[in-house]
Amino acid sequence: MAKYAELIPNFLTFVKINTRSDPQSTSIPSSDRETEFLNQLKDRLTKMGLKDVHTNEQSAYVFATLPGNVDKSVPTVGFISHIDTADFNAENIQPQIVENYDGHSVIKLDEKGEYTLDPKVFPSLKKYAGQTLITTDGSTLLGADDKAGVAEIIAAITYLQAHPEVKHGDIKIAFGPDEEIGTGADHFDVKDFGADVAYTVDGGPLGDLNYETFNAADAKVVIKGTDVHPAEAKGIMVNAIQVGMDFHAALPDFDRPEKTQDREGFFHLYDFQGTVDHTEMGYIIRDHDRDRFEARKRLFKGIANQMNSDFGEDRVKVTIKDQYYNMGEIIKKDPTPVKIAEQAMKNVDVTPHVFPVRGGTDGSKISYMGLPTPNIFAGGENMHGRFEYVSEQTMEKAVDVVLEIAKLYAEKQ
């Protein structure tokens, strides 16, 4: 008998529902599929007997409360997961279950074996000897990111409802859209949510705990060329494509995603559309350190300024938009939420793996709205594609950690 009877059945039900978000859309949520699933979750939470179950209008998040069962005043803890899946086929997801994996065999995903999980390619598989793995059938992603988080939070709440002897303060839960397209948390309503501290249950493998993220900006470069006949171009033509290449060449050679790791930041050119007349480039700028992040933006603008002054006119136009900041700056003021999460993991025999995310989490934005929100593991491996998988045992541990966090906060004055 599984410790959390509904955890895996719920998870398997949730992943089969297509909730892919839509990066082209400006509506909230970005797809009707997401709205539908959020409404299903709202019904579910209502049937579970949670209080104040509602959809927050501005964000489309579904909020709910499990009232505390302690007399004293303790912090209200929130747990947050996103319900959308990444930009990869999510139609007709057919999860496959591999029981008692031996830790070294190649797992066939599709019938023909065109796609496999091979420990030579994915050494992470070796950690899972003796465990039950849930994989894709090779044609879709799995959506453990972040339906694992959704199922784990629901399992924790169900457990607390069945075990009133476990003491906890008020617990808030939130399920929201559009994390994968980077907009879901933009409208998060901290006041309506009503937590003192929160955790996104959206990390990867067992033990993941993140409270540092990148500082992030998106940058557009628009270049105006002068297109004339190549035969008569001398001294007249300004080839906007060439100017774009010169601009890129002026950035530091090694500060690129494919050449950096850990705390090294970068400029990433992700789009380059050009004609002689007109060229546009899209970049993201990333750095964990705020000063270096600001310096990167200055350098980026400085290159454009230098080129414009060499041209004697404004041909290179740069627009930079900050996207989110490193939540570590907020957490450092009071590291209690991270200490509690570390303690919670240790209490259930999980070794915390604390590392700076090379990206952002919903917590990067929510923390800056005044609600400190580190990220804990949900269990997924190889997220965002057909090689995604998750272990049942890790998912159970994630529920253990959520429960343990709730308990530890109930012991606080």
Query: Which residues inside 295-334 make contact with Zn ion, applying CB under 5 A?
Result: none
Query: Is the preceding omega at residue 310 within 30 degrees of 0, hence cis?
Result: no
Q: Which stretch binds Zn ion (CB under 5 A): 71-79, 199-207, 274-282, 400-408?
A: 199-207
Size of the site for Zn ion (CB under 5 A): 3
Complex with Zn ion: residue 202 or 255, whichever CB lies closer: 202
Whole-number Å distance between alpha carbons of 107 and 109: 6
- Quickly tell me which residue has 């009503």 as its tokens: 194
- 34, 202, 212, 396: which one binds Zn ion (CB under 5 A): 202
375 DSSP β-pair partners: 200, 210
Q: Which stretch binds Zn ion (CB under 5 A): 197-205, 309-317, 367-375, 385-393?
A: 197-205
**Least Cβ distance, residue 82 to Zn ion (angstroms):** 6
Q: Does 145 bind Zn ion (CB under 5 A)?
A: yes
Compute the Cα dihedral for 212, 214, 215, 218 and give only its sign: negative
Complex with Zn ion: residue 68 or 207, whichever CB lies closer: 207
- 22, 34, 84, 146: which one binds Zn ion (CB under 5 A): 146
Contacts 24+ apart (CB under 8 A), 36-44: 37/83, 38/62, 38/83, 38/175, 38/176, 38/177, 41/83, 41/150, 41/175, 44/154
Whole-number Å distance between alpha carbons of 321 and 317: 13
Report the Cα–Cα distance between both ends of the chain, in Å, rounded: 36
Nearest alpha carbon to residue 219 among 96, 109, 302: 302
- Listing from the earlier edge strand, what are the strands of the sheet with 316-324? 266-274, 278-287, 215-224, 316-324
**Least Cβ distance, residue 210 to Zn ion (angstroms):** 12
Catalytic residues: 84, 179
Q: Which stretch binds Zn ion (CB under 5 A): 14-22, 140-148, 243-251, 345-353?
A: 140-148
Q: Which stretch binds Zn ion (CB under 5 A): 137-145, 207-215, 283-291, 404-412?
A: 137-145
Whole-number Å distance between alpha carbons of 41 and 47: 10
Complex with Zn ion: residue 10 or 200, whichever CB lies closer: 200
**Least Cβ distance, residue 30 to Zn ion (angstroms):** 15
**Least Cβ distance, residue 179 to Zn ion (angstroms):** 5
Q: Does 362 bind Zn ion (CB under 5 A)?
A: no
**Least Cβ distance, residue 387 to Zn ion (angstroms):** 16
**Least Cβ distance, residue 78 to Zn ion (angstroms):** 17
Q: Does 392 bind Zn ion (CB under 5 A)?
A: no
Provide CB contacts within 8 A for 181, sequence distance 6+: 21, 22, 23, 30, 84, 87
Provide CB contacts within 8 A for 298, sequence distance 6+: none
Complex with Zn ion: residue 170 or 381, whichever CB lies closer: 381
Complex with Zn ion: residue 22 or 146, whichever CB lies closer: 146
Whole-number Å distance between alpha carbons of 107 and 166: 40
Note the residues at the interface with Zn ion (CB under 5 A).
Answer: 145-146, 202
